[in-house]
Structure 1
Amino acid sequence: MATPSVLFHHAERFTEWFPDFLRKELAPYPGRGAVVARMVIAATLSAVLIVTFRIPGGAVGALCAFILSRESLLSTAKSAAYLVLAFLIGGLFIPIGARFFASIPITHFLWEAASLFMVFFLLRTLTNYAVAVGLSLVATNILSIWYLPGPAERNVELTLWQVAAALIGALVTLAVEVVFHAIYGRDEVTSGIDLRLLQIENLMTGFAAGRPASSETAHMLAQYAVVGMGAQRRRIALAGDEPLHRARMSTLVALTGRSIDFAAALSSISIDFTPSLQQRAARLAEHIAEVRHCLLKSEVPHPQEPIMEMDAATPLLSEVETMISLMPSIFISQNAMDPRFAIPEGPSSSSRIFVEDAFTNPEHLRFVLSGTLAAMICYVLYVSLAWPGISTSVTTCVLTSLSNVGASRQKQVLRVAGAALGGFVFGLGSQMFVLPNIDSITGFTVLFAAVTAFAAWIASSSSRLSYAGLQIALAFYLINLSEFSIQTSLTVARDRAIGVLLGVSMMWLVFERFYPRPAADEMVRVFVRNLRLMADLIVSSPWGADSATIVRIRRMRDQIYNNFGEVNAQADAVPFETGPGRAGHMAARDRIRRWQAALRTFYLLEAPLIQFRVYGTPDQQAGAYAQIEDAFRDQCAQSFRKIADRIEHQLNQRPPEAIAFPSLLSAFDAPHTGTQALLTEREQALLRMSRTIASLADRLQREAVSEPLYATE
């Protein structure tokens, strides 16, 4: 039976969609004011110290307020420590290299190219994000100081001031976070999930009483649907939690995000409040309340049979029920984990300097070469034109590459808009109309805080818009905070603003014009790749695996987890794409996001099954459970590969093949009913988990067959 299709309606033209998107992105939501206040306080205090102590090159210090992670006090402290270490390393590396190579033009050129190549390589492959960002910022800023060598003493002095400014920014930001957590300490990820589930609970409580959604609930659901879960995903990715907890919270974030999407759509339509619907809403509200309670208290909710069939009359409500019913499995899976599974799931990569595929993945090399080319074009231009004022273009290239927000149109819009607002509107505007009338640091502080608040408000948006906030702050700080004195000439501000736009333009030219990759296509490609990786993982976990197999399993799971993040990043960029195919791409985006939520749950629930096989004894390998599990895993791997092939055919504009998908639940049906008595209690629990996984996969394959990927109706 075909699963009813649930699609959201989208404005087909970018010009119709973007104003409404911007309005919703900039609307306030719970917790946004606190985040903005912390960023403004940290950046403003850093700026005051930099100006008071007359430290040149202070832009990097103020930017730390935007870059330093804030997912927990411990991770913030670690990030600050790593930033300090990175600043010190960068401060030593550049002068030493300049001493050997900077005096001769040809060696200076090669040294600059090699340094930028290393910066982009570290930015892409270092496992510690804070170190990568710190090294990149300090190195690119110091490179501009040594562009014309001499006098060496002055260059060394400016280099040390750059490091000092960065250190001030990192330490001030850490101090602000310590004070905030002392007054208002809470887990940002857990709080974000709880607030969203509360709105869904309020909606269901109203439905249970026969009332439509209140205006406040409908507004909050719509706001959360627009903001998305990007901030929570970023905090989880940057946190130093052990991998199993990180995977569990990522899955919960994905399920919550999809629940919000469906609940927001449900709140905007008229509902026929039948007794049956009211009872379903009441049960769902109670279940959400239990999940929220267990989430805040770190307890395990009571298991619930996952709902995999949709009611054709109320498909949106059925979708919310399905997402919520899967949440207890995330908590319960912890009890099924064997401590020995810490080998494949433990923090083995935490001590690694580089990511697993740093020297084997061609995508890393493409990124590094493209970034180096863009930065070197900027370098050649400002050196050949003898125009050192636009050297800010190189720093802009590096900061632009920090974002993983998707593909061409989104990056282009955010980069240009951010640079124009920060550089020309706020930067040059303040130089012409505000700063000439300011004669004290108090006035400068008020101006700086106001512009920072605007940038921070945008930076606290979803991942689809937040990068523009960083770009605004960068352009404004480079103009007004690179020197400790107020500029009386517009030439300096003009040159720095042009440098920012030059860097933005070169990154757009190299990354998007030389090697265009539409976000919708890339989203589908990564999702297909993940389906095939999942199929390989399913069949690559034999009974009693050796240590080499365990390492391979861990790497596959890491790759799958990273691909989940890439699919989300590309999905966030799809709305920025234009053209006649936009409606179809938006429909594909909705389906991929819905299917990925199920696939994430599959990924998490599969972990205990894998560890049981990896550490299984010969007796277990020959037992009844192994026979059932082997049959199920073979069918599941074949199903995922067929789904991947079908989706890929549609991506390549080929008609999808008519494929028969037998139910995966058949592996647990009649032929094995007599074996239940032969199973241990643990095997029976794992078998029940396998049935849940089979239900997830069955629904995924039904939808893949019944719903063409790009169909809009």
Structure 2
Amino acid sequence: MILRQWLDDALKGSAERQSATLRLTLSCLLLTLLFLSFQLPFLAVAIIVVFYVTQKNVVLTAGIGLGFVVVALLALGGMLLIIKYTYDTPLIRLVASLFLFFWAMFFMRVLGKLGLAFFVVALVLIYAQTFPSMTGESEIIVRLILWLWMSMVVAIVVTVLVNACFIQAYPHYQYCQRVAALCQQTADRLQGINSGEQPVGIFIAEQLNELQSLYKFACLTNSDFKEKSKSWYSLSNLALKSLALAELYHVNPGKADTQQVTRLAEHFRQLATQARQREIGGSSPVAIATADKILEELSQLCEQFRVTRSIAPLPGQTEKPPLMAVDAWRNPLYLQFALKTLLASLLCYLFYTATAWQGVHTIMLSCVIVAQPGLGATYQKAGLRVVGALGAAVVAVIGMVFIQPHLDTIVGLLLMCLPIFAFSAWLAAGSERVAYAGIQFGFTFALLFLSGFGPMSNLTELRDRVIGIILGVIVASIVYLYLWPDSDAPRLQKNMARLYRQLGRYCSQRATDGPPLQIYQQIEQVTELASRFDAEPLASTTHPYRCAVQWPIKESLEVAQRLAILVSGYSRYATSDDPFLNHLAHWLQNYANAIDGEVISPLPVPLYHNPYGDALLESLRQLRYWQPIFPQLTQEHLDGD
């Protein structure tokens, strides 16, 4: 199943992914031309910097690039000072570097998005340890460190300039295209067309987070967008609310107003066309006469936007996570994570120095790169690193043996590299399940095939670097599994229980003023955890939660997604004296307790006349307990007497 998901993610295409692929490919080709023409070292480092710096829009790319320059300058400057005062005493140099490396990994784990800066510091510190073993000349070591920083600066400048040349990378353009996609999907769902690749709830949660970020950047970078920012903001709110209502109508077994649905769908397609053209002009009236409450609500929203250009934001938006984990200094998990990474890197460094095997210097980098929060994420990235490295090695050998002898100009070399960089960029622009394989593919190819300034013919060097990557992954995987294994199982169980408690509260509130946004965001978080958990080695005898293989994770997520939609629809047709939602709220709270491991007796759920009632009970019948000691839910448990 994991392989099938990987292939699906690798083949999926979208306009945004195509644009990102083009920008990444062009940046890599320009850097290859520049570095080989002027004989600049560390082209492979420049290539991987391109993949890490390139973000979804040019503003983020420039910000991340500036952060990379500053952080790399501080890290390499600190490394220069360490080498200056400890060059003649390798033990002190190693201890000082490992001390800084430990705290870099710690802050990488606890600082969330800012942890990427400390990830760069850790990489620089561990990579610079190979310089003293390359030569005994201190001046050459200093030059290597300075050239390493310069290669990163050149890569960042080229990346930012390339991204700035494409309007598809600007926030205002992306904001308009996303709003257009939401309007188009609303029209499709009204007419029963499933145009999305994700469940609607998760799609809404993801789009909301990205739209909020794009809206801020667009207002800062485009004056025309800023003048109409309130109208654009209202249009995005309209699109998000309408998509949730369209999904409610789609699952309503009693829908019948085909003519009115067609009018509403055409209206949203008109809005989508205007948004694609970055216009927010007028639209024709869409008031309709219908007995369907959902279609009537949709019509009122559209009329409100047409007349006032003002739609309130979605209720229940969650706050941003704190800059640093609240339990950073209390939870030993973060220190254990830093210590495990340090131990794995140190073991690889001892192997590297004891064998005097210069070609396997990539062994230490692997320990840092695959270090992720959670055992599943670590094994997932380790697998992607091995797949990417082996694939790049095969391509490099084919190019070295069969293609390179026929090349005599740099143009021919660039044409040979074009499909390779394009393929790696396509993977890197995909989902997280495949993105790192693309980064590793491009980086390893550049490391193996483009490390010199002339034709490559040494297959031994290629072999050694691939062996270094694989050995590093093996050492890191063993250390992370046997030393304080950090499984996502308890976090997944806790978040799933929280999800069903939120569903219970939503039932008791009878909310009808918008989609259950917080529930959708919680579903998104649990889905991400479940994806990471799938990669954990549950078959290993040392795994602390082997019983978790019996948990109905996928079924529980699917049911939660349907419940959020069906409860929202049920509440619109429920009478004030209908106790069904209150009973359901109590039952879902009990089910959440059962996920946490408490023995409970499910309450009966009475059924009252409502078009969404049968679908609700059918979804509840699919729920199973997470603990093996609990029996599956039966018809009597659900329907009662």
Same fold by TM-score, threshold 0.5 exceeded? yes
| 1:372 and 2:331 aligned | no
Match runs of 1:295-334 below 5 Å = 333-334=312-313
- Quickly say closer, same or farther: Cα 1:322–1:81, change in 2 above 3 A: farther
Q: Which residue of 2 aligns with 1:468?
A: 437
Match runs of 1:539-618 below 5 Å = 566-573=525-532, 581=549, 584-591=552-559
- Quickly say closer, same or farther: Cα 1:360–1:194, change in 2 above 3 A: farther
Match runs of 1:524-535 below 5 Å = 524-528=493-497
Match of 1:121 among 106, 111, 128: 106
Q: Which residue of 1 aligns with 2:148?
A: 162
**Distance of 1:561 and 1:365 partners within structure 2:** 32
Deviation at 1:382, TM superposition (A): 0.9
- Quickly say closer, same or farther: Cα 1:416–1:174, change in 2 above 3 A: same
Q: Which residue of 1 aligns with 2:226?
A: none
CA contact (8 A) 1:83 1:134 kept: yes
**Distance of 2:44 and 2:205 partners within structure 1:** 26
CA contact (8 A) 1:197 1:292 kept: yes
Q: Where does the alignment leave 5 or more consecutive residues of structure 2 unmatched?
A: 218-228, 506-517, 540-547, 569-581, 608-612, 626-631, 635-641
Q: Which residue of 2 aligns with 1:679?
A: none
1:419 maps to a residue whose letter is: A
Deviation at 1:229, TM superposition (A): 8.7
CA contact (8 A) 1:62 1:477 kept: yes
| 1:382 and 2:330 aligned | no
Deviation at 1:38, TM superposition (A): 0.5
Q: Which residue of 2 aligns with 1:285?
A: 265
Q: Which residue of 1 aligns with 2:132?
A: 146
**Distance of 1:230 and 1:471 partners within structure 2:** 30
**Distance of 2:488 and 2:245 partners within structure 1:** 24
**Distance of 2:347 and 2:301 partners within structure 1:** 51
Q: Which moved more, 1:250-259 or 1:367-376?
A: 250-259
**Distance of 1:460 and 1:405 partners within structure 2:** 24
- Quickly say closer, same or farther: Cα 1:92–1:523, change in 2 above 3 A: same
| 1:455 and 2:455 aligned | no
Q: Which residue of 1 aligns with 2:543?
A: none
Q: Which residue of 2 aligns with 1:446?
A: 415
**Distance of 2:453 and 2:342 partners within structure 1:** 30
- Quickly say closer, same or farther: Cα 1:236–1:409, change in 2 above 3 A: farther
- Quickly say closer, same or farther: Cα 1:37–1:372, change in 2 above 3 A: same
CA contact (8 A) 2:167 2:173 kept: no
Q: Which residue of 1 aligns with 2:623?
A: 708
1:648 maps to a residue whose letter is: D
| 1:645 and 2:593 aligned | yes
1:384-425 deviations in whole A, cap 9, x for unaligned?
Answer: 211122111222333333698954664454233222212x22
1:220-255 deviations in whole A, cap 9, x for unaligned?
Answer: 545999x9799869967987959xx9x999999999
Q: Which residue of 1 aligns with 2:629?
A: none
State the secondary structure of the residue aligned to 1:464: helix
Match of 1:85 among 70, 89, 95: 70
Q: Which residue of 2 aligns with 1:694?
A: none
State the secondary structure of the residue aligned to 2:166: helix
CA contact (8 A) 1:288 1:324 kept: no
Q: Which residue of 2 aligns with 1:431?
A: 400
Deviation at 1:701, TM superposition (A): 11
1:144-192 deviations in whole A, cap 9, x for unaligned?
Answer: 2235673111111000111011111111110011111389764436634
- Quickly say closer, same or farther: Cα 1:167–1:561, change in 2 above 3 A: farther
Deviation at 1:570, TM superposition (A): 1.7
CA contact (8 A) 2:50 2:155 kept: yes
CA contact (8 A) 2:496 2:526 kept: yes
Q: Which residue of 1 aligns with 2:639?
A: none
Deviation at 1:141, TM superposition (A): 2.8
**Distance of 1:106 and 1:87 partners within structure 2:** 24
Q: Which residue of 2 aligns with 1:610?
A: none
**Distance of 1:658 and 1:702 partners within structure 2:** 14
**Distance of 2:417 and 2:373 partners within structure 1:** 24
Q: Which residue of 1 aligns with 2:461?
A: 492
**Distance of 2:146 and 2:349 partners within structure 1:** 22
Q: Which residue of 2 aligns with 1:171?
A: 157
**Distance of 2:215 and 2:64 partners within structure 1:** 10
CA contact (8 A) 1:137 1:398 kept: yes
CA contact (8 A) 2:9 2:430 kept: no
**Distance of 1:172 and 1:122 partners within structure 2:** 29
CA contact (8 A) 1:371 1:397 kept: yes
| 1:400 and 2:379 aligned | no
Q: Which residue of 1 aligns with 2:514?
A: none
**Distance of 2:386 and 2:61 partners within structure 1:** 30
CA contact (8 A) 1:396 1:500 kept: yes
Deviation at 1:523, TM superposition (A): 2.8
Deviation at 1:470, TM superposition (A): 1.7
Q: Which residue of 1 aligns with 2:23?
A: 38
Deviation at 1:333, TM superposition (A): 4.9
- Quickly say closer, same or farther: Cα 1:511–1:131, change in 2 above 3 A: same
1:546-603 deviations in whole A, cap 9, x for unaligned?
Answer: xxxxxxxxxxxxx99997765342233456578895793322342455678999x9xx
CA contact (8 A) 2:360 2:464 kept: yes
State the secondary structure of the residue aligned to 2:55: coil
Q: Which moved more, 1:384-393 or 1:69-78?
A: 69-78
Deviation at 1:24, TM superposition (A): 5.9
Q: Which residue of 2 aligns with 1:501?
A: 470
Deviation at 1:37, TM superposition (A): 0.4
1:65 maps to a residue whose letter is: V
Deviation at 1:96, TM superposition (A): 0.9
Q: Which moved more, 1:375-384 or 1:501-510?
A: 501-510
Q: Which moved more, 1:443-452 or 1:320-329?
A: 320-329
Q: Which moved more, 1:100-109 or 1:33-42?
A: 100-109
Aligned alpha-carbon RMSD (Å): 5.7
TM-score, length-normalised on structure 2?
0.69
Q: Which residue of 2 aligns with 1:689?
A: none
State the secondary structure of the residue aligned to 1:461: coil
1:276 maps to a residue whose letter is: A
Aligned residue pair count? 563
TM-score, length-normalised on structure 1?
0.63
Q: Which residue of 2 aligns with 1:554?
A: none
Q: Which residue of 2 aligns with 1:658?
A: 602
**Distance of 2:296 and 2:464 partners within structure 1:** 56
2:596 maps to a residue whose letter is: E
CA contact (8 A) 1:405 1:569 kept: no
**Distance of 1:145 and 1:376 partners within structure 2:** 16
Deviation at 1:515, TM superposition (A): 5.0
1:351-404 deviations in whole A, cap 9, x for unaligned?
Answer: x6x555443343332332222222222212111211122111222333333698
2:456 maps to a residue whose letter is: Q
2:131 maps to a residue whose letter is: I
Deviation at 1:76, TM superposition (A): 2.1
- Quickly say closer, same or farther: Cα 1:644–1:19, change in 2 above 3 A: closer
1:256-283 deviations in whole A, cap 9, x for unaligned?
Answer: 99999999x99xxxx99x9716368547
